[in-house]
Amino acid sequence: MDTVVDMAKAIKIQAKDVNVFYGEKQALNNVSIDIEDRSVTAFIGPSGCGKSTFLRCFNRMNDVIPSCRVKGSIMMGDVDVNSPQTDPVLLRARIGMVFQKPNPFPKTIFENVAYGPRIHGLAQSKTELDDMVEDSLKKAGLWGEVADRLADQATGLSGGQQQRLCIARAIAVGPDVLLMDEPCSALDPIATSVIEELISELQQRFTILIVTHSMQQAARVSQKTAYFHLGTLVEYGDTKDVFTLPKNEQTEAYISGKIG
């Protein structure tokens, strides 16, 4: 039964032969992967295996690093993410990103969420903007906690709240895809479980790619898991298969804690 459902899921992003270089050093080696629509795909692997680098390929965040070069194609629908003709500004409006450390801007809570709609000119009026902010905060599960203090400084929120604010900020632009780079690594267990629940809810609307160091987290939130080692994609499959019946020895060694 499960396989039938999985088969029914459309492919959202198709990466083919992605190679990434930092100067002379090759960080990713011929990575090809199909990402399913409206699902959570987890990238796991030891530090320095290239999983974050790969995640940053999807919204061209590697452009920011001067020495970094990306080769290969990443197709999202009919958009070639990596093509020089693709405008990273428009691309990033379709692919939101949440970072390792919560990074709210030193503005008010409202202004943080309104930032994306403002720079992309999404709201025609103040009421529309208000609605967008409220809607995004609700989707990020933060509305109830901040509804009465939208004018407070965002930096005054707790770490977990700040991270959910960053999720709301990303959602407000109206993306299809959310990239999450170890979103819980700076948070305590309670805040982490709140975010994990949120990820499961968001999955119904967004395609989510998440890099995580915690294998339990990957097992809890994701449907698909990709294991990276030294810049290569070692194993990719349904999460429950990867964790219970890994096909590759390296994957097994990693998830059983022998390497890491």
Partner 1 sequence: MSDFLSPNLVVFAATIAAAFLSFYLGTGRVRKQAIASQTKSHSLNQYYGFYVSLWVLVPAILLALIWMFAADPMLTSAAKARMLAAYPNLPDSFLNLKMAQLVNIAAGYIKAPDAVMAAQADLLRAAQASADRARSLTLAAVMCIGFFYAFRRVSPELRARVLCEAFLRRLFFLSAVVAILTTIGIVASLLFEAVRFFREVSLFDFFFGTHWSPMTALRPGDAAAADEFVAGSTGSFGMVPVMAGTLLVAVIAMAVAVPIGLFSAIYTSEFASRRVRNIVKPTLEVLAGVPTVVYGFFAALTAAPFFRDLGLFVGLDVSSQSALAAGGVMGIMIIPFISSLSDDVITAVPQSLRDGAYGLGSTRGETIIRVVLPAAFPGLVGAFLLAISRAIGETMIVVMAAGVAANMTINPLESVTTVTVQIVMLLTGDNEFDSVKTLSAFALGMTLFVITLLLNVAALTASRRLGQRYE
DSSP class of residue 230? T
Region at 128 (left for phi over 0; alpha for psi -120 to 50; beta for the rest): alpha
Q: Locate 46 and state its tokens.
A: 């030891």
Instruction: Tell me, residue by residue from 178 to 217, as one string, x for binding to partner 1 by CB under 8 A and - for no binding.
Output: ----------------------------------------
| Piece in contact with partner 1 (CB under 8 A), picked from 3-11, 13-21, 74-82, 89-97 | 89-97
Out of 11, 90, 147, 259, the residue judged to bind partner 1 by CB under 8 A: 90
Binding-site size, partner 1 (CB under 8 A): 28
How many angstroms separate the CA atoms of 6 and 82, rounded?
27
Out of 68, 93, 123, 253, the residue judged to bind partner 1 by CB under 8 A: 93
Residue 161, exposed/middle/buried by CB under 10 A (0-12, 13-18, 19+)? buried
How distant, in Å, are the alpha carbons of 49, 100, 132, 173 from that of 237? 18, 25, 36, 30
In the complex, least distance from residue 94 CB atom to partner 1, rounded to whole angstroms: 9
DSSP class of residue 62? G
* Cβ atoms within 10 Å of 27's Cβ, excluding its own: 21
Using CB under 8 A as the binding rule, whether residue 105 contacts partner 1 is answered as yes
In the complex, least distance from residue 246 CB atom to partner 1, rounded to whole angstroms: 32
Binding site for partner 1 (CB under 8 A): 59, 61, 64, 66, 88-93, 96-97, 99, 101, 103-107, 115-116, 119-120, 155, 166, 169-170, 173
